[in-house]
Structure 1
Amino acid sequence: MTQAPIRVGIGGWTFEPWRGTFYPAKWPIKRELEYASRHVTAIEVNGTYYSGFKPATFAGWAQTAPDGFVFTLKASRFCTNRKVLAEAGESVARFVGQGIVELGEKLGPILWQFMATKKFEPDDFAAFLALLPKAHEGVALRHAVQVRHESFQVPAFISMCRAAGVAIVFGDSADYPAIADVTGDFVYARLENAVEEEAAGYSPKALDRWATAARQWASGALPDDLPYVSSEVPERTPRETFVFFINGFKPKAPQGAMALIERLTA
């Protein structure tokens, strides 16, 4: 069975509770990215949601991480936290143009995350998708949207994203509705239900389930135990798959990611 790469990671790398539990005791803070990028295979950068960075910063991240590692970037809140999304063009251009292309081959998808109160307004959302550039300075860009309001659970939204080639984030969440429809040429999943009681945040049975789902996505299949909105079935083709342990009980995120990687490489 042909399978695209599966990348498993965490959100960021600077988190005090990880010191001494994920990072070895007395590990230098300045070398945390070096360590994290050799124990997981992707990182979703949350800091880019709150502020901009210089090109040299992105270049430094790329230089620190090993070959084959991928960073996904959460887009600026100034792009997504607005009443009229169609007016986000200047903010989108500023985000894309800040130097993210310095990541080169280590630049993964851009995550456009919307507030849970943001409702689906078809014309406005279509206008927003049209603002997302396919490339910048010769570097191809890929986009994923995470919506968290039940009004998006309609076939029109699925068709809109599929036509734009934009992936819909699947979120395993206790708080927000999940959409598992595959609309892009990659899959982006965020596992947000980690609990303190489990050594890896998720139970061994749940981790087995997500390992199976990841393999299915990567081979072009659709897991049959997830919630779909549209009856339209996408083309079956291998898709690069990203799985992040990102919310819930965050101190266990690295353990969850490493446990899933172990299952996928067994």
Structure 2
Amino acid sequence: MAGRVWIGTSGWRYPPWRGVFYPEGLPQRRELEYLSRQLGSAEINGSFYSLQKPEYYRRWRDETPDGFVFTVKGSRFITHMKRLRDVAIPLANFFASGVLALGDKLGPFLWQLPPSLRYDQDLLADFFEMLPRDTAAAAVLAGKHDERLDGRALTEAHVSLPLRHALEVRHQSFVDPTLPEFLRAHGIGLVTASAAEDWPYLEDVTADFAYVRLHGETELYASGYSDDELDRWAARIHGWSAAGFDVYAYFDNDMKVRAPADAIGLQDRVRSAALQ
């Protein structure tokens, strides 16, 4: 059975998109609604910079159609500031901040590591053991939040779902033959990152899904993807899907308004391949 494919953009609120991708005069509050009628998914990246609120997640859920899926980017306080150490309470606060309000539109959690963090199996294993693997476990973890979330926490799961976690690595030490089996043993997906940067390029599928982030092939966060490049990515994604893996793919080349057009172009190609 073929896996499902979700393609979208990393975030959706970018001023340069207004009047280019978004129609002139479209209210900012309707931008997600508009994008969700063009694409099937989006990464929530505001959660990387600060804890969001349950009412935000509820609004995002309600503004999007049935079948739309959000992936949620893990807090940089956990990944970049704490560097995965002593993160029990920060993790509880993150899961209490409202992510469970997405209900059945909740997709994977993305944990992006800083470029300076080296491959350390013991550190990663400890972190992976703390991650909830279903919404019930996430609700239990959320209930352990500290006083900073008092009065604004969501600690109940209204749907029962398994949870997926994906790791994006940026230090060359992760180019290690032990990494794929290590991640498989912990049920963690490995992000395949296309970027004009000295980050590892890894295509191993280490869970029951593949996760792709397209940051710009020649200019980080800016350059678009040619027709030939989109064809190649469509072929990779179709191959993973045909092998039974679900696939999530997001364009992060937002600076020159290439992300939405590239995402739509890739989505069209993947759909065409699936029909052949």
Name the TM tier (shorter chain).
0.7 to 0.9
Per the alignment, residue 235 of structure 2 pairs with: 212
Question: Structure 1 residue 124: deviation in Å?
Answer: 1.1
Counterpart check, 1:160 vs 2:182: yes
Deviations 1:114-165 (A, max 9, x none): 1111111221111111111112234422100101001111122222211111
**Where does 1:78-157 land on structure 2 (aligned, <5 Å)?**
78-82=77-81, 85-135=84-134, 136-137=138-139, 138-157=160-179
Please give the secondary structure, in 1, of the residue aligned with 2:38: coil
Q: Answer whether contact 1:117 1:149 (CA < 8 A) is retained.
A: yes
Aligned partner letter, 1:257:
A
What letter corresponds to residue 186 of structure 2 in structure 1?
A
Kept in 2, the 8 Å contact 1:194–1:249? The answer is no
> Residue type matched to 1:253 in 2?
A
Specify the SS of the correspondent of 1:87. coil
Equivalent residue runs for 1:184-199 within 5 Å: 184-194=207-217
Q: Distance in 1 between matches of 2:54 and 2:161?
A: 14
Preserved contact between residue 113 and residue 168 of structure 2 (Cα < 8 Å): yes
Q: Distance in 2 between matches of 1:62 and 1:84?
A: 30
For the aligned residue pairs, the C-alpha RMSD in angstroms reads 1.7
Given residue 258 of structure 1, which amino acid in structure 2 is its aligned partner?
I
Instruction: Output the amino acid matched with 1:265.
Output: R
The amino acid of 2:267's aligned partner reads: I
The number of residue pairs the alignment matches comes to: 245
Structure 1 partner of 2:61 = 62
SS of the aligned residue for 1:192 comes to strand
Q: TM-score, normalised by structure 2?
A: 0.84
Local SS of the residue matching 1:130: helix
Shift of 1:97: 2.0
Report the residue type matching 2:237 in the other structure: A
CA distance in 2 between counterparts of 1:110 and 1:250 reads: 26
TM-score norm. by structure 1 comes to: 0.87
* Residue of structure 1 equivalent to 2:6: 7
Residue in structure 1 matched with residue 43 of structure 2 by the alignment: 44
Do the aligned partners of 1:59 and 1:103 also contact (CA within 8 Å) in 2?
yes
**What is the CA–CA distance in structure 2 between the aligned matches of 1:50 and 1:75, rounded to whole Å?**
9
Identify the residue that residue 170 of structure 1 maps to in structure 2. Answer: 192
Q: Which residue of 2 aligns with 1:253?
A: 259
